[in-house]
A and B are shown apart, each in its own frame.
Chain A
Amino acid sequence: MKSNGEHLRTGLGVGVGCLWALAAAAQEIAALDTLNLPLESLLRLEVSSVSKFPQTTLDAPALVRVVDRDDMRAFGYRSVGDALRGLPGIDLTYDHTYQFLGVRGFNRPDDYGSRVLFLVDGLRINDGIYDQAQFGGEAVLDTPILKRVEYFAGPSSSLYGGNGLFGVVNLVTRSGADINGWEPRVEFGTREACRASLAYGRQLAGGRDIVFYGSVADDGGGPLRFDEYDATVRRLDGERYAKFFAKLTDGGLRISAGFNRRTKENPAAPYGTRFGVAAEALDEQAFIEAAHEASLGDALSRLVRIYANHYRYKADWPFAGTPNYVNRDRAEAQAGGAEYRLTYRGIANHILVGGLEVRRNWRLSQSNADIDPPATYLDIHHASNLAGVYFQDEWRLSESWLINLGLRYDKVSDFSGEVSPRFAAIYRPDAVTAIKLLLGRAFRAPNQYERFYGDGGSTQKASPGVGPERIRTTELAFERFVGREIRLGASLFHYDMSGALEQQVDPVDGLARYLNGAKIHVVGSELEAEYRREDGFRFKGSFTLQDASDANHRLTNSPRQLVKGQAYFPALAGWDMGLEILGTGRRRTEAGRQTPAFAVANLTLNRPLGQGSEVRLSATNLFDRRYRDPTPGYYTPIDAMPQIGRQVFLQWLGRY
């Protein structure tokens, strides 16, 4: 499949013309064989020896961060969230149902990840009801099938339309050639955790490449202390999931499909449900995609993509009453869409991209009802359409200057058209340095949940009148390699958000509903340094300082500082070791209190057993730090959610 971040690079408008099939060409070719390859193929080969860094390119109109398989192994990353958590500027919070991705100080309590675009191999996965990007066990895939996780902060509406306000996460799946055989994996952990996965991949004669993957998990959930209830609960925090993925690549054609069903118990009595009884939520996603990339003559290439996806959500809320009763939320979304993109390189120093995208959400259903005695409070079915047209020019002015212009027009049902421009100027004073000025504007139309959800006067009501929120961003970024072993990065950013969709309580009836809120400003800076030695030792550190505020206050759940460090030691008496330390500054809660600053350490030890198999011993939250994440108002009286303490895992991985 596309390698070296090709999807994200395409998304960013760099190196657009590359074909998947050719990009997968073998990397080790004898000198004389190489001579006889056509130039187009040579330019797509990756040079592995030039740098140990899994970099994409200094020319990208963003600071692109990549978590590759080496990192996933070294630091024992299991979920997409684990992989993202270590990146600069990201703070991940957890309410025992979902992981919420905070980007650059912006992590709103009622936001289900709708401001981050979530892609699998370039295909949008955010669902049609909540626009949710899911990162933990709820994510559509987990790490054993991922080649890399790519991330950049910043708006992406100029290429992708809505959702990409704060950043883009792209999961690049492994190819059959990468896996090359069977890969079973079994893991046991404390808190009654048990996980297994099996991957099969092969490149067949004739270049066809196939991948099959399945992964299951059953975490019993250990004890959690809730001071608010003066109680410790056990076995109310369980999680079970099953994920499947399959992919066929044949020349320029790729067909892939994924499925995930996850159930998660929540012990924290959300929405005033009974404490001591788990609320249970089910999330289910499925997608199928066919994409074909072909070259139409020397200068023109074409990408066609068609896809369908499905999302289902069901949650049971155990309420106290006489008798006790269960209230059930359901949501279901089904959508199909197509994209057509042309890339033209016929004008010297320009790479022009034009595309058209249509999507039909043919089923957008939400319901809320009591089970017994039955009573229905909400039962709505909608449909919506989206059409977008985009254009991009990557214009190389000279050997040192690159301009990237992007523009997209979107029309979403019920809302007027939105124009999203992007401008990037990239200056390369020398071969190892890039200085970038990045300007962008992005929008997000309110989702179905924000507009129409209501539970019959219990906690929340519909707000059909809300409009889109918009963001304007300015970023100055610096990247530089010092020698072959050191990479430095710095970024200074400023975001202006208007009409931010936030839950507010209506003083008249005490019900929450979404409204377009006040202006939000974010100003901040990220600094990072990375050192990779030939022998495999590496260290990465980052410091983020940010200030996200509305007119009056710093935002809730917004840490002013984030400090991250990761070190990997390649050989310690037959083991290799990855140590990760993640520090988060104090955060204001909804109730106006502060959660204290904290740091969590994660330790991973790997020991190769020969023939590709290995054992892994790992501990998350090694020092059993008791910390809390600010949490939405619907967990009252819990203002800050207690997090999971130390968890120890033992894993075996085989390769056949």
Chain B
Amino acid sequence: MVGPLLTRTQRFVRLSSIRWGYVALLALAAAGGAEAESGGDIPLRVAVIYNIVQFVQWPEEGGTGREFQFCVVEGDDLAAGFAVLDNQLLGNRRIRIRGTVAGRLAGCDAAYLPAAAFAAARPREPAMLTVSSGHGLVDQGAMVNLVMDGKRVGFDIGLGTLRRAGLSMSAKVLRLARYVKED
């Protein structure tokens, strides 16, 4: 069945003027380059991250007084949107948004890195949740990766990486995830 199908299809493409259309289209497609996932409703995407973080458990929860260090590496428009989380409560801890660079993440409870910064640094700190937004970043070690699905926000979870860092995540979030990578 496959043989004749391929023959017919090949003949069709070869004989027809449409191959020039393909040439033009591929040239256009190649011209673009894969633009990083950007734009979108920043407050909505920050809210999704805030919600997900609420369902993550850290190994030794600090006392009421201890602040939650949410480190943000600058570099995309989402990073700038994290300011609204400053002073918000996470359980009984108050979030402190701290601007930093990829190399200085020690002491952070969670860190957001833009896609390019994440891919370059692949940060790994004990008990630190890594968050990013781009294509294929869970495979590169992100624990929470925001993705756009059509016009909606979705997220992938790197569960194996998250567990190895000593964190855990509620099953409720995992069910809402687009993709969960166990290991």
Contacts and interface: CB of A to CB of B under 8 A. Distances in A.
Contacts of B36: 431
B154 interface: yes
Nearest to B11: A523
Interface stretch (A33-41, A138-146, A225-233, A262-270): A33-41
Contacts of B120: none
Given A31-B43, A525-B18, A488 B35 contact: no
B57 interface: no
Contact of A399 (B28, B148, B179): B179
Contact of A482 (B12, B28, B145): B28
B152 A45 contact: yes
A299 B175 contact: yes
Contacts of B50: 35
Nearest to A523: B12
A399 B12 CA distance: 34
B148 A50 contact: yes
Interface stretch (A53-61, A276-284, A448-456, A604-612): A53-61
Interface in B167-183: 171-182
A636 interface: no
Contacts of B34: 429-433
A376 interface: no
Contacts of A400: 135-136
A29 B43 contact: yes
B135 A345 contact: no
Contact of B178 (A30, A396, A430, A481): A396
B84 to A, nearest CB: 5
A496 B12 CA distance: 15
B25 A529 contact: yes
Given A47-B40, A431-B36, A486-B28, A348 B174 contact: yes
A496 B9 CA distance: 12
Interface in B1-42: 5, 8-9, 12-13, 16-18, 21-22, 25, 28-29, 31-32, 34-37, 39-41
Nearest to B47: A34
B101 interface: no
Category for how many chain A residues contact B: 35 or more
A177 B9 CA distance: 48
B92 interface: no
B25 A488 contact: yes
Nearest to A400: B136
A458 interface: no
Contacts of A55: 150-151
B51 A57 contact: no
A440 B93 CA distance: 53
A47 B31 contact: no
Nearest to B43: A31
A490 interface: yes
Interface in A193-211: none
Contacts of A474: 5
A527 to B, nearest CB: 4
Nearest to A59: B149
B138 A15 contact: no
Given A494-B8, A523-B9, A527-B18, A44 B25 contact: no
Given A49-B39, A57-B149, A37 B47 contact: yes
B29 A482 contact: yes
A46 interface: yes
B80 interface: no
A428 interface: yes
Nearest to A484: B39
A58 B152 contact: no
Given A348-B174, A543-B21, A488 B28 contact: yes
A43 B154 contact: yes
Contact of A40 (B150, B153, B176, B178): B176
A483 interface: yes
Contact of B153 (A42, A346, A481, A482): A42
A298 interface: yes
B73 interface: no
Interface in A363-406: 396, 398-400
A494 B134 contact: no
Interface string B75-87: 0000000001100
A51 B47 contact: no
Given A482-B28, A483-B32, A543-B18, A47 B41 contact: yes
B179 A398 contact: yes
B9 A492 contact: yes
Contacts of B32: 432, 480-483, 486
Nearest to B21: A527
9 contacts: A43-B152, A47-B153, A348-B180, A430-B34, A431-B34, A431-B35, A431-B134, A488-B28, A527-B22
Interface of B: 5, 8-9, 12-13, 16-18, 21-22, 25, 28-29, 31-32, 34-37, 39-41, 43-44, 46-48, 50-52, 55, 84-85, 88, 134-139, 145, 147-154, 156, 171-182
Interface of A: 4, 15, 29-32, 34-35, 37-40, 42-51, 55-59, 298-299, 345-346, 348-349, 396, 398-400, 428-433, 474, 478, 480-484, 486, 488, 490, 492, 494, 496, 521, 523-525, 527, 529, 543, 545, 547
> Top 5 nearest A-B pairs by Cβ distance?
A482-B32, A57-B150, A430-B34, A31-B43, A431-B135
Given A45-B41, A45-B153, 6 more contacts: A39-B48, A47-B152, A57-B150, A399-B136, A483-B32, A543-B18
